Amino acid sequence: MLTSNAFNYVNVLDKAADASWTRKSVIDNNIANVDTPGYKRQEVDFESVLKRELGDYKYESLNSKINHVNLSNLHADTYTDYANYSYRMDGNNVDIDVEETELASEQIKYEALTSSISSEFARMKAVIS
């Protein structure tokens, strides 16, 4: 993690990419356990943590909000989804179609985040050059 204010946006993107990678791993685990009796799917929550840290200031710019983010509070929370009721006799609540769709979505999100990080460093490099 970089400690200059110039890198605040990159640091937040880095935390989001870490959360996305964690979510991909959790989805992979859900898919691997699709036939495990009694298995309850896992989920990752990062968006609500990020929203809470950014605050809900309507007239404040994103750059201003990012400067006030406490990076130590930005972490992905993994939880077991007991609310997603199972219609299967074995008690497993993993829907393979949903998981595969979520996995494809997460892969796109991760690539977008890493591309954004690369773009930020390219902009900084252009300024320095």
What is the per-residue pLDDT across 73-82, written as a single tens digit (0 to 9) for each?
A: 888 999 998 8
State the residue range of the domain holding 93. 5-128
- Summarised one tens digit per residue, pLDDT across range 9-32 is 888 899 999 999 999 999 999 999
- Give residue-wise pLDDT tens across range 92-106: 999 999 999 999 999
Q: What is the pTM of this model?
A: 0.83
Model confidence band, residue 36 (pLDDT cutoffs 50, 70, 90) = very high
What is the rounded average pLDDT for all residues in the chain? 87
Q: Which pLDDT score, from 0 to 100, does residue 85 have?
A: 77
Question: How would DSSP label each residue in 16-74?
Answer: HHHHHHHHHHHHHHHHHTTTSTT---EEEE-HHHHHHHH---TTS-HHHHHHT--GGG-
The per-residue pLDDT for 82 is: 84
Q: How far apart are CA 119 and CA 38, in angstroms?
A: 44
Counted domains in the chain = 1
